[in-house]
Amino acid sequence: MAEGATGRKPLISGNWKMHNNHFEAIQLVQTLSYALSDDDYAVVDVSVHPPFTDIRSVQTVLDADRIPMLLGAQHCHFEEKGAFTGEVAPAMLAKLNVKLVIAGHSERRELFGETDEMVNAKVKAIIRNSMTPILCVGETLTEREAGQAETKVTGQVRAGLAGVTKAAVGAMVIAYEPIWAIGTGKTATPEDAQAMCAHVRAAVREVSGPDAAASVRIQYGGSVKAANAAELLTQPDIDGALVGGASLEAENFARIAQYRLH
């Protein structure tokens, strides 16, 4: 079953942020795998994005138990190698079978000074290394109240996709994450989330053309949990969810991935 505008499977992604050591990560991914069945994987793609120190351990579990969950990362540097103390190169992630990398999460933009230019360089580096970027865009509460949400998001989409081929954009994921909804327990209404995701798709159409806009997957993120997943994920322009807090609880996250059953 494919839902939404793209006809592709929705993508439900768990961003673990800076939580879980590698033992806890193994336990979480195993518990999650017990809660999901082949029927689930037939209709949704599921990815987990542990901290760097957990990735190898989670990869080993996914491989050993043949769990069809996609391995993700939360960040990488945009250079291939070099004197960048503390950073991780995209090729290092690709070697660990990482398939999806989050780029431009609002926490990285706000707390670590990532600019639109850096995010764009990162998107290109992820694609160059045969992985899929999840490009995050979204407005602050002040910007929303000032009526600037659409302008902000359009600017981030344009900047993030600059110089990326149309085919690569079509294979990408963009996460619309209103910053005021991340980790706050406040969620955009399904109508607002739909309108903003449709707006993101329109911005992609303008930058990369109709084919890319038709196939890019657009996630909603911001306090998604089992109780609100279905009403958000059944909106026509919402092709999945980027989930923070609720992805740390296997049962809650599994229920989000199984939103069609609830």
Query: How deeply is 107 buried, as exposed, middle or buried, from its count of CB atoms within 10 A (0-12, 13-18, 19+)?
Result: buried
Near ligand PEP by CB under 6 A, which window of 29-37, 92-100, 154-162, 215-223?
215-223
**Which residues have CB under 8 Å from 159's CB, separation 6+?**
116, 117, 119, 120
Given the complex with ligand PEP, which of 222 and 240 has the nearer CB atom? 222
244 binds ligand PEP (CB under 6 A): yes
Q: Which two tokens stand for residue 255?
A: 């229920």
Length of the chain: 262
- Smallest separation, CB 52 to ligand PEP (Å): 16
Query: Catalytic annotation on 177?
Result: yes
The answer to whether the beta carbons of residues 51 and 84 sit under 8 Å apart is no
Query: Catalytic annotation on 77?
Result: no
Q: Looking at 77, 114, 177, 199, which residue is catalytic?
A: 177
- Smallest separation, CB 141 to ligand PEP (Å): 14
223 binds ligand PEP (CB under 6 A): yes
Per-residue CA distances from 9 to 1, 37, 150, 152, 177 (Å) = 7, 15, 26, 28, 20
Cα 114 from chain centroid (whole Å): 17
Near ligand PEP by CB under 6 A, which window of 23-31, 45-53, 85-93, 241-249?
241-249
Pattern 151-190, ligand PEP, x by CB under 6 A: --------------------------x----xx-------
C-alpha 197/C-alpha 218 separation (Å) is 7
243 binds ligand PEP (CB under 6 A): yes
Amino acid at 140: T
- Smallest separation, CB 229 to ligand PEP (Å): 11
Among 45, 173, 245, 254, binds ligand PEP (CB under 6 A): 245
The answer to whether the beta carbons of residues 126 and 134 sit under 8 Å apart is no
Residues binding ligand PEP (CB under 6 A): 15, 17, 177, 182-183, 221-224, 242-246
User: Hey, which residues are catalytic here?
Assistant: 105, 177
